[in-house]
Amino acid sequence: MTNSIKKEKVKNLYEIIKTNVKNTVEIKKISEEILKESTIRTYDSLHIASAEEGKADMFLTTDDKLLKACTRLEMKVRVLNPLKYFLEVMDYE
């Protein structure tokens, strides 16, 4: 996939976004707490902290290690695999 195609896809995503979360001191604090209490990597902790600060209902990831690490933490945002989320929404569980 070329960079221009990727850029266009990102642009299309931005058009449907309803909330834009800016980097704040609070996000950094939440991220640092996640890092202290887990094996979660820095970028992942920042993404989760941003989701929490942005009051997201859930954070979707296909990263099994991240999912497992998140089950050990008390968080405001639910962290789910997209397939599990889909099955839950479609009431297949």
Domain housing 47: 23-89
Q: What is the mean pLDDT of the chain?
A: 90
Query: Does 35 fall in a domain?
Result: yes
Number of domains in the chain: 1
Query: Does 32 fall in a domain?
Result: yes
Q: Quick check: 42 and 11 in contact, CB under 8 A?
A: no
* Rounded Cα gap, residues 84 and 34, in angstroms: 23
pLDDT tens digits for range 55-92:
999 999 999 999 999 999 999 999 999 999 888 888 76
Q: Quick check: 49 and 23 in contact, CB under 8 A?
A: no
* Burial zone of 45 (CB within 10 Å; 0-12 exposed, 13-18 middle, 19+ buried): buried
- pLDDT value, residue 4: 87
